[in-house]
Homo-oligomer: A and B are copies of this chain.
Amino acid sequence: MLMTEFTIDDRNRIRRKPDRGRFERDVIYPIIDEALICHVGFVEDGQPFVIPTLHARLDDSLILHGARASRMLKHIQAGHPVCATFTLVDGLVLARSVFNHSMNYRSAVVFGRGRLIEADDEKMHALEALTEHIARGRWAEARQPTIKEMNATTVVGITIEQASAKMRTGPPGDDEADYALPIWAGVLPLGEQAGAPLPDPRLREGIPVPDSVRGFSRTP
């Protein structure tokens, strides 16, 4: 990667609480990689649409996939401007005053334009990245895509032209006078947790839970 930081203009400038804004790739990309899904925004006839979808990142490209018929993918592969947003909620910030309540979070907003990924090797590499993004190691465990399955799947790459991250950490910030109030304040940590794996009712006997599931973690 040639540049470590994205250029800043009106599109990605952080106007509210600019001290929470970051523009370095090495801050933004770990947020993208840790988020399981993103929310993709696109425009049709002036109407915004926001669709949740699985993603992966390969260098400066965001990879999305789906069925051929997908409205979102048709729109993206046509090269229209796209915004994709990644949000990790880390906790509730409970202040003494209602006004100073907040959230601890890390979010990234990415701007770019997409293209269809058609070449077989590039498409296979992108599908591997999507599978590995869900659960590391799963690509090697599962049955690989057939030509027919490849043809039924649309894969797009969105070149990340510009991006920003925004985050908050730490305890609440109350007005000085409010610290004397007899009101509990603090942070309630939140995070995505995995439960015990549920084997498929049709799972053959004697197949152990694989590494990709036992070792599941969202932290890259």
Interface residues of A (CB under 8 A from B): 11, 15-16, 36-37, 39-43, 46-52, 54, 66-67, 69-71, 81-85, 87, 89, 91-92, 94-99, 101, 103, 105, 107, 109, 111, 127, 131, 134-135, 138-139, 141-146, 149, 152-153, 171-172, 174, 178-204, 207-210, 212-213, 216
Contacts and interface: CB of A to CB of B under 8 A. Distances in A.
Q: How many copies does the complex hold?
A: 2
A174 B107 CA distance: 35
A131 B183 contact: no
A143 B181 contact: yes
B48 A41 contact: yes
A99 B195 contact: no
B192 A66 contact: no
Given A131-B101, A193-B190, A195-B188, A109 B182 contact: no
